[in-house]
Amino acid sequence: MDVSHILDPLNERQREAVTADNAPLLIQAGAGSGKTRVLTHRIAWLNQVIGVSPHGILAVTFTNKAAGEMRSRVEQLLGLSVAPMWVGTFHGLSHRFLRMHWKEAGLPQGFQILDSEDQKRMVQRTIRAMGLDESHWPPRTAMWYINNKKDDGLRADHIRDEGDPNEQQLIAIYKAYENACELAGAVDFAELLLRALETLRNNEALLNHYRQRFQHILVDEFQDTNTIQYAWLRLLAGDSGYVFAVGDDDQSIYGWRGAKVENILNFSDDFPDTRTIRLEQNYRSTSTILNAANALIENNSNRLGKNLWTDIGDGEPITFYSAYNEGDEARFVAERIMEHITSGGLRSEIAVLYRSNAQSRVLEEEMFRNGIVYRVYGGLRFFERMEVKDALAYLRLLSLPEDDISFERVVNQPPRGIGDKTVSQIREVARDAGVSLWHACAEILSVNGLKGRASTAVGNFMKMIIQMRADTQDMSLEKLVEHVIKETGLLEHYEKDRTEKGQARVENLNELVGAASMPIEAPQDAGELSELDTFLANAALEAGEQQGSEFDDCVQLMTLHSAKGLEFPLVFITGLEQGLFPSQRSIEEGGIEEERRLCYVGVTRARQRLFLSMAEHRRLYGRDHFNTTSRFIDEIPSDLLMEIRPRMNVSKPVAHTPRRQTIREDNTTGLSIGQRVMHAKFGEGIVTDYEGQGAHARVYINFEEVGPKWLVMAYAKLEVMNTV
């Protein structure tokens, strides 16, 4: 049989892995060394040469997208459909299993899946039904506890009671929640895995059936499997199955979510006769990029160690741009992207990576301004995120209480005891009387049309909105947004959520305050709009446009975490600042090695060009940060970096040069840093920065009364004050 299409595109080591005899196999290799390629070719080999039916192959990868990609690559290699193959994420495959074996799993046939919001509501109902005080037992915290235990394979009954009253209560909530889910026939994400594992473990016939069926189990990104995923693999493989695991300890980036990189170390013990193969040639990146990655990761002490090389050639130096603020950084990114496009490059060849979700806002704004089609990969665009939409809905209500859509969105968000029944009642009155929901509320209240608690809750909601309208009359937009996210309880609501998602939501809300502190241009033909309405109109515009679909040619914006496994000719890593990347938390809590691995993942996504950037002054989460360069930049040998300074295109080695001059040569504002100015609305302030030219020139002024602000020179009408 001609197997050249399977073996020719591989080097010798890779071939060895693909054609290995049946035995557990661990491929421990660095980024871009062809691990994923080897895994797909192994599937083709098993099918075409060994004669394993697609029916007998199970492959697990990290995302649905990767699973789709793997399937199509295998189909291409084989020239036939591999639909019966089980390829997916751990969650996806567990789900498939439970749908087929709902009976054995003790579930109703049409069991419901709870997404994290549904799960939170279910936990909340449980807590209330137990008569507990939600402020003491926030649903998010309980949910976090439950999911962690499930990821460790523990049911409420299995948790050892150590006598800690706090934990005892959480265990009781977990138990009551389990019962509630059982009654409702509902399954949360963590449950999918746990339930599949238990079903297999408790049903010998079923387990034997699947062990016989899936003799070949292949796992990509093995370094990021957690306890329960690993248990699932071991159970399914048993003594007769062959696990083919590929991973890179240097790319383990989900320790904070329970991933156990030790699984790589334990593999050989748990699967006797394991063969380990190392791949050392990188086929992805130029040697400049690879050397930078190697030098960076060498600073980690906890590694298995490896030696990665490439023969692709040096390529271009890595560009490091130290911007003076986040807007300047975003502009730098956009300019480079446009250069690439005008010279015939594709948008889809570019990825812009960031550490924190909230950083996308400024980048998105700049993409939008320059008409660059982009897509936020693995997440929502800033103005489409739930918490941002909540806050915008409140702002719309302030501007126009008759806005029914906004009213419905936030009347019970955060929860304030206005249930679905009450809202339907209000809706009915509004429909009958042909008025807005807001007016309907007033009407119902005036005739005492609601029962006690609901009536008080609706009354309080209206009072809150009216009060906020009065309180914010003379506030700057920034203060107004800040006031609204606090007074409505939104911020506090999300602060209670201790999960990473909850934290990102708090950051996004604060970032919205940041957005409000920036000067905004009124949309064309908008007529006379208040500052708030202009802001809302811009938010609506940005949310609605330029989102490329999956198949369009668009620039990909994503967090460093979502970039795992992917590759792009051009990669930007933004925000390389101490406290942002590495994150403050990692610095304080000793998680620097995982941050460094994340940086290593980012750097090794790049094939030809890598751009790194930082902002010396960043307004993020609504706060000002004055930053020093990330230690990761210092860990990259300076001869691999070319530093570009704002506007002046000076390149020089980056090693510990004193940071930036105070006055730049491109200043066309007529003002200098340190100058005192007077603004009609904001009063006196001091110029601390400026950027842009001509009509677009902006100055950053620290006002005594209202704090720092960016203003457009053309509109600001500043009066220069004598400084003597």
Phi, then psi, of 613 in degrees rounded to 5: -150, 160
Tokens, residue 510: 């604060």
Q: Residue 274's CB: how many other CB atoms inside 10 A?
A: 15
Query: What's the number of CA atoms in the CB half-sphere (13 Å) around residue 330?
Result: 22
For Mg ion (CB under 5 A), the number of binding residues is 3
Q: Which residue, 217 or 312, has its beta carbon nearer to ligand ATP?
A: 312
Tokens, residue 305: 């160690």
Site residues for ligand ATP, 262-291, by CB under 6 A, read 283-284
- Report d(CA 19, CA 14) in Å as an integer: 9
| 642 strand-pairing partners | 319
- Work out whether strand 676-679 and strand 683-691 pair parallel, antiparallel, or are unpaired: antiparallel
Using rule CB under 5 A, residue 565 touches Mg ion: yes
Using rule CB under 6 A, residue 34 touches ligand ATP: yes
Options 13, 35, 140, 409, the catalytic residue: 35
Q: Of these, 6, 13, 14, 557, which contacts ligand ATP (CB under 6 A)? A: 14
In the shown chain, the binding pattern of residues 32 to 51 toward Mg ion, with x for contact by CB under 5 A and - for none, equals ---xx---------------
Contact of residue 169 among Mg ion, ligand ATP, none (CB under 5-8 Å per partner type): none
Contacts (Cβ under 8 Å, ≥6 apart) of 127? 134, 137, 139, 142, 173
Q: What's the alpha-carbon Rg for the chain, to the nearest Å?
A: 28
- Distance of closest approach, residue 151 Cβ to ligand ATP, in angstroms: 23
Using rule CB under 6 A, residue 698 touches ligand ATP: no
Apex CA 194: angle with CA 188 and CA 197, to 5°? 140
Q: Which residue, 200 or 245, has its beta carbon nearer to Mg ion?
A: 245
Q: Which residue, 290 or 440, has its beta carbon nearer to ligand ATP?
A: 290
Piece of the chain touching ligand ATP by CB under 6 A; list 9-17, 149-157, 205-213, 642-650: 9-17
Using rule CB under 6 A, residue 189 touches ligand ATP: no
In the shown chain, the binding pattern of residues 550 to 589 toward ligand ATP, with x for contact by CB under 6 A and - for none, equals ---------------x-x----------------------
Contact of residue 654 among ligand ATP, Mg ion, none (CB under 5-8 Å per partner type): none
Tokens, residue 539: 């938010």
Using rule CB under 5 A, residue 517 touches Mg ion: no
- Report d(CA 387, CA 393) in Å as an integer: 10
Q: Which residue, 151 or 221, has its beta carbon nearer to Mg ion?
A: 221
Contact of residue 675 among Mg ion, ligand ATP, none (CB under 5-8 Å per partner type): none
- Report d(CA 504, CA 256) in Å as an integer: 15
- Distance of closest approach, residue 285 Cβ to ligand ATP, in angstroms: 9
- Distance of closest approach, residue 29 Cβ to ligand ATP, in angstroms: 6
> Mapping DSSP to helix (H, G, I), strand (E, B) and coil, where does residue 539 land?
helix
Is 48 assigned a catalytic role? no
- Distance of closest approach, residue 416 Cβ to ligand ATP, in angstroms: 47
In whole angstroms, how far apart are CA 79 and each of 47, 85, 537?
12, 15, 51
Is 605 assigned a catalytic role? yes
SS3 content of the chain, % helix, strand, coil (to 5): 50, 15, 35
Contacts (Cβ under 8 Å, ≥6 apart) of 333? 352, 363, 366, 572, 574, 611, 613
Site residues for ligand ATP, 226-255, by CB under 6 A, read 248, 251
Piece of the chain touching ligand ATP by CB under 6 A; list 4-12, 376-384, 452-460, 553-561: 4-12
Tokens, residue 574: 């933004």
Is 278 assigned a catalytic role? no
Is 339 assigned a catalytic role? no
DSSP H or E run through 36: helix 35-45
DSSP one-letter code for 309: B
Using rule CB under 6 A, residue 32 touches ligand ATP: yes
Options 37, 120, 605, 698, the catalytic residue: 605
Contacts (Cβ under 8 Å, ≥6 apart) of 601? 31, 251, 253, 560, 563, 564
Q: Which residue, 27 or 426, has its beta carbon nearer to Mg ion?
A: 27
Residue position matching structure tokens 């000719």:
569
Is 698 assigned a catalytic role? no
Contacts (Cβ under 8 Å, ≥6 apart) of 1? 48, 49
Is 451 assigned a catalytic role? no
Using rule CB under 6 A, residue 10 touches ligand ATP: yes
Using rule CB under 6 A, residue 413 touches ligand ATP: no
Question: Which residues bind to ligand ATP, rule: CB under 6 A?
Answer: 9-11, 14, 31-37, 248, 251, 283-284, 565, 567, 604
Positions marked active-site: 35-36, 220-221, 251, 605
Contact positions vs Mg ion (CB under 5 A) = 35-36, 565
